[in-house]
Amino acid sequence: MTLTDERDKQVLDNLRKRIFITGYKGGMAHLASCFSCVDMIYALYHKGLVRYKAGEPKWPDRDRFILSKGHGGLALYAVLLEEGLITEEMFSSYLTEDSLIGGEPCMRDCEYIEATTGSLGHGLSMGLGIAMALKLDKSPAKVYVMLGDGELQEGTAWEAVMTAPSFGLDNFIAILDRNRIQKMDFVEKVMGDPKWRDKFESFGWNVLETDGHDVEAFANTVRKAGEMSGPVLVIADTVKGKGVSIMENNPNWHFKLPGKKELKVFKEELNISDSELE
């Protein structure tokens, strides 16, 4: 990974720390899913890829971002906090008695959330409908949908894949968080080599590939995608659990909090003090 800006690295280290502390205090979280996609969500919002107006969440010409892999919801909320779009009170309330947010994105909880995606596999089809409506309205807005590679085994995703090219949707960009792990095991062990590029190209999509943990490389790839005709899939190679050695590339951490011995590793590698977990 080559983060070109030391400020980006510091922010991302802090985001991972905040996600862990909040999930740990809440008592449950999809930490590994959050850690594989947080760099990309940060890039989308902080590098000017997703256009929005602070204080005007329903600005008509805003770009729409849908986190279809909803298990990474805490990563999205953490980035929204970093960008000043939600409050510290909202983020820190996660799964407390007075909780204002849950583990997956929910439109009811936050006006900057464009789709409720706790039920996986539907985000691409929702994004397709939004992209088509924006085209009819002659809006300059784009729709970005982030998918998981395990999630792409859901049938509704492929209805959108088949449909999008026939409408020439150059405002529709899918981002695949290719961490190669789904809920219980590696994707290839469950379904064989998925050949994502071949499949999407066979339906008429443009396909680009990049490093999902390199903020600048990812941002440049998404900018290129925005200039192409027709829908685009950006395949972003990532590591599930990125940032904590015992969690990286380990299917056992899909939905798990550390025990006493494991917690020492998280605290050391994420630079967390005892007082921060109280």
**Residue-level pLDDT at 4:** 53
Asked if 219 contacts 4 with a C-beta cutoff of 8 angstroms, the reply is no
Residue 90 has pLDDT above 60, yes or no: yes
Which amino acid type is present at position 152? L
Q: Where are the domains of the chain?
A: 6-277
| 67: nearest Cα among 24, 127, 26 | 127
Q: Return the SS3 of 160.
A: helix
Mean pLDDT of 159-169: 97
The token pair at 136 is 């009819």
Residue 94 has pLDDT above 70, yes or no: yes
**Strand partners for 234:** 175, 208
**Residue-level pLDDT at 118:** 86
Which amino acid type is present at position 204? G
| 146: nearest Cα among 229, 42, 60, 58 | 42
Average pLDDT, the chain: 96
Mean pLDDT of 41-70: 97
Rounded to whole angstroms, how far apart are CA atoms 11 and 143? 25
- For 235, what's the count of Cα atoms within 13 Å in the CB-facing half-sphere? 17
Mean pLDDT of 95-111: 93
DSSP per-residue string spanning 29-63:
--HHHHHHHHHHHHHHHHTTSS---TT-TT-TT--
CATH topology of domain 6-277: Rossmann fold (3.40.50)
Residue 1 has pLDDT above 50, yes or no: no
pLDDT tens for each residue of 138-159 = 999 999 999 999 999 999 999 9
Residue 2 has pLDDT above 70, yes or no: no
Mean pLDDT of 6-12: 95
DSSP per-residue string spanning 23-38:
HHHHT---HHHHHHHH
Note the helical H segments in the chain.
6-26, 31-46, 73-82, 88-92, 123-136, 155-163, 187-191, 196-202, 215-226, 260-269
Residue 255 has pLDDT above 80, yes or no: yes
pLDDT tens for each residue of 208-245 = 999 999 999 999 999 999 999 999 999 999 999 999 99
